[in-house]
Amino acid sequence: MTTPKRTNLIGLSEAELMELVQEMGEPGYRGRQIYHSIYARKILEFSRMSDLSASLQRELAGKFCLALPSLCSQRRSADGAVKMLLSLEDGQKIECVYIPEARRDTLCISSQVGCAVGCTFCATGTMGLRRNLTAAEIVGQPLFAAASGMVPRPAFNIVMMGMGEPLHNFDAVMKAVRLLSDPAGMAISHRKITVSTSGVVSGVRKLARQPVVPNLAVSLNASDDRTRSELMPLNRKWKIEALLDACREFPLDSRRRITFEYVLLGGVNDSPEDARRLARLLRGLPAKINLIAWNFNPDLGFVVPEPGRVQRFKEILQEKGFSTFLRKPRGADIYAACGQLALQR
């Protein structure tokens, strides 16, 4: 006889948990207690939820589970970054990366198994899309990192820049954002959560209308449509002008800016004219520019840009008045840097 599969409570909102316990004949506030235990106290065993009766703990354990992605392996970089290979319930694998810094910690998480966008400079794109992650699997990554002690500080930043295009998995991503940012739960401010997109214009416009709006990062990577379409097939559907129009309409208060990510590829998009063209494109936008010297991958056919060209590119943007940063690669020696996540063991 097959044992009935228990429902996973990770990924349920406070309202959903309250409704669930009421269906069990319990008062709704028990759902609030369970929610607080999971997300605020990081308790993942019903028997340790001390504000619940022993009988309710047993009933919950018999019907439900609290299942997070499981750790298959982890690799530590010489610079302190840690790449985690996580297994999901169906056996699919994803990667997320812990990035420690002097003043803050950052967790880079995945939103899909693989990616359908197919950016030619990104190793994840070579996987294709295997499936979307559920809200439970998305929120389960930072919850695992926090509950296991992988991220030692109670407060950390979350960037959805791992495997996948977050705006292709919109509903699950936004539910995860709400769970992560809920003051009654994990209480990670929406200002510390960044959703990165390759340029899904419809998703950017939809994101702008959400009650909780995280930071927006846009992977631009070219200053003209021809080059961008060659690097990022998505540009054939949504041109740069349409993408930037959506960015201009994105709701920002006076202290927030959109981050534009620009991967510099040697001899492709790293010329001084590219920099000047990029400055013209972004003129008037509340923008911060992150430059990323391409992280080497022998299978993708690109060249790491020369340091002098990278520096000149940065100087031109700064001369034009843009806050421009050269992102230091973290975890490149373990294939954990930007664009390198592709399940290499």
Specify the pairing of strand 215-219 against strand 258-264.
Answer: parallel
Do residues 48 and 104 both lie within one domain?
no
**What is the tally of structural domains in the chain?**
2
Do residues 137 and 75 both lie within one domain?
yes
- Decide if 157 contacts 101 (C-beta within 8 A): no
pLDDT at 345: 47
- Domain of residue 30, CATH code: 1.10.150.530
Range list of H helices, the chain: 14-23, 29-35, 54-63, 135-147, 170-181, 201-208, 225-231, 240-248, 272-282, 307-319
- Domain of residue 247, CATH code: 3.20.20.70
In a domain, 147, yes or no: yes
- Decide if 8 contacts 67 (C-beta within 8 A): yes
Do residues 160 and 135 both lie within one domain?
yes
Instruction: Write out the catalytic residue numbers.
Output: 95, 338
pLDDT at 309: 96
d(CA 43, CA 236): 46
Alpha carbon of 297 to those of 66, 270, 331: distances in Å? 38, 18, 13
Angle formed by the axes of helices 240-248 and 201-208, nearest 10°: 0
Do residues 171 and 233 both lie within one domain?
yes
**What's this model's pTM, rounded to 2 decimal places?**
0.93
Do residues 154 and 200 both lie within one domain?
yes
Q: If we measure between CA atoms, which residue out of 166, 235, 171, 175 comes closest to residue 195?
A: 166
Per-residue pLDDT tens over the stretch 188-235: 999 999 999 999 999 999 999 999 999 999 999 999 999 999 999 999
Do residues 243 and 158 both lie within one domain?
yes
Band of the pLDDT at 5, cuts 50, 70, 90? confident
**Is the model's pLDDT at 342 over the cut of 60?**
no
- State both tokens at 266: 């040697």
Do residues 108 and 248 both lie within one domain?
yes
Q: What average pLDDT does the structure give for the chain?
A: 92
The residue range of the domain holding 77 is 70-334
Share above pLDDT 90 across residues of the chain, in percent, rounded to a whole number: 79
